[in-house]
Structure 1
Amino acid sequence: MAQCEQFTTAVDAVISRMRSLAAMLPERDGVAVFNRVYLAVTEEVDRHIDGGRFPDRGAAITLDVRFAERYLAAVEKAEDERRPPACWRPLFQMRHHPGVRPLQFALAGINAHIGHDLALAVVDACRSLGCEPVELEDEFDSVGDLLVSLEERIREDLMPGPDLLQIADPITHLLGSWSLERARDATWSSARALWALRGYPELAEEFTERLDAAVGFAGRMLLTPLAD
């Protein structure tokens, strides 16, 4: 596949936009919590791209940018008081709730972005590059592996202290109900299905709406208030 050097500045641009959000949002804001996590992930992906650690640098850049643009578009819609996709609404609606813990905000954002946005980003990237999803599978897996490796660090950074890690603590049960690896596997299936439906716009739209709603429902569960 041809290399796509022109997308390099676009990676820098989305990182710059996320850094701007980090600077302007209150630290405890739920969107700010997720933004810090996603900024760290995107910077790590960018370092891997610069270090030549992706099989196809151009494809990795394209996927990374298309992926980030969907999150940033959701933020813009919320800021303009327009309706973001259903998968993002729980996070924007609950972002200031005092009973929701930072780890919940982070996981709800990851759920929305991986469960919905990544599938659509794969299709976006395939259209930009003129390729099939299977040609992006290595890049998809590499990004997914980075996310999984960072998830443990995210949980360590945002998890309540040891005194709260009781078996009866509600967050222990809540965290056990969602898995990044399972979400990533489901997303790859969704991306392939959407690509197969590209010649049937009505079916593709219906599939996308149902995916959006299902991911949004999971997000609401993840954001269940656990303290007053």
Structure 2
Amino acid sequence: MTRLEHLAPSVDTVVSRMRTLAATLPERDGVAVFNRVYLTVTEDIDRRLGSGDFPDPRAATALDVRFAERYLAAVDAAASDRRPPACWRPLFQFRRHPGVRPLQFALAGINAHIGHDLALAVVDACRALGCEPPELEDEFDRVGDLLVSLEERIREDLMPGPDLLQIADPLTHLLGSWSLERARDAAWVAARTLWTLRHWSDMAEEFTGRLDTAVGFAGRMLLTPLTD
């Protein structure tokens, strides 16, 4: 058994859990909408790992699995009536709201996962691998690039109406205030900060709590109902 097998489940394991969720959640459920989006990118990462697209597949696997596990832990918490992190609560609270559109659900999930979970996953992976965050920067950037390209695709797939009507659509203005690329950059800064604070548990806990709250606030804005 390799060291990697001791570090975390395989990407196939988390993909399997997401596929199970996709098969059991109602199609219009807000968590199901995000899950379909995230499953697509995780499957893509799994394929790229198999084809050698990552320079360090061991590190990429550790990062990707720990990243996915934080989302799945939030799903488990909500399913068992425990409180998920604040960044995820808006999505679970509004998941069946008829006035929230599918694109809002997708981006609110991405906001929670990138804005909060990604930074913590970097720290988790560094601890497991015995490395510093700069040693994971290439893997972080490659995963982030896939997510940015996915954001562009889901905006095209889930944005309603012809292009000429989108200018007047309140959804256009709401989503124009949020950027995945900026969220990814902020996640890297947060990861570096948390790694620096790892020996000061009180400060690290306070920083993580404030990050969680801030990302949750942004998610609540993204889920503003636009129709009755």
- Deviation per CA, 1:111-130, whole angstroms, max 9, x where unpaired? 00000000000000000000
- Deviation per CA, 1:82-110, whole angstroms, max 9, x where unpaired? 00000000000000000000000000000
Cα contact 1:41–1:150 (8 A) shared by 2 = yes
Is 2:134 the partner of 1:134?
Answer: yes
**Which residue pairs with 2:150 in the alignment?**
150
Q: How many residues align?
A: 227
Work out the CA distance in 2 between the residues paired with 1:219 and 1:192: 23
**Which residue pairs with 1:183 in the alignment?**
183
Cα contact 2:48–2:54 (8 A) shared by 1 = yes
Structure 1 residues 95 and 25, CA gap change in structure 2 (3 angstroms): same
- Deviation per CA, 1:49-75, whole angstroms, max 9, x where unpaired? 111001100000000000000000000
Structure 1 residues 139 and 3, CA gap change in structure 2 (3 angstroms): farther
**Which residue pairs with 1:226 in the alignment?**
226
**Which residue pairs with 1:105 in the alignment?**
105
Structure 1 residues 56 and 3, CA gap change in structure 2 (3 angstroms): farther
Work out the CA distance in 1 between the residues paired with 2:108 and 2:97: 14
**Which residue pairs with 2:49 in the alignment?**
49
Matching residue's letter, 1:138: D
Work out the CA distance in 1 between the residues paired with 2:192 and 2:114: 15
Matching residue's letter, 2:133: P
Gaps of 5+ in 2: none
Work out the CA distance in 1 between the residues paired with 2:162 and 2:7: 44
- Deviation per CA, 1:27-57, whole angstroms, max 9, x where unpaired? 0000000000000010001011111001100
Cα contact 1:165–1:172 (8 A) shared by 2 = no
- Deviation per CA, 1:161-215, whole angstroms, max 9, x where unpaired? 2178332211010110000000000000000000000000000000000000000
Matching residue's letter, 2:213: A
3-state SS, counterpart of residue 160 of structure 1? coil
Work out the CA distance in 2 between the residues paired with 1:15 and 1:188: 24
Is 2:208 the partner of 1:205?
Answer: no
Is 2:77 the partner of 1:77?
Answer: yes
More off after superposition, 185-194 vs 9-18: 9-18
Cα contact 1:94–1:223 (8 A) shared by 2 = yes
3-state SS, counterpart of residue 168 of structure 1? coil
Gaps of 5+ in 1: none
Q: Could you state the TM-score of these two structures normalised by the residue count of structure 1? A: 0.96
3-state SS, counterpart of residue 155 of structure 2? helix
**Which residue pairs with 1:20 in the alignment?**
20
Matching residue's letter, 2:192: R
Work out the CA distance in 2 between the residues paired with 1:53 and 1:87: 31
Matching residue's letter, 2:171: I
- RMSD over aligned CA atoms reads 1.5
Q: Could you state the TM-score of these two structures normalised by the residue count of structure 2? A: 0.96
Structure 1 residues 138 and 153, CA gap change in structure 2 (3 angstroms): same
Work out the CA distance in 1 between the residues paired with 2:198 and 2:36: 34
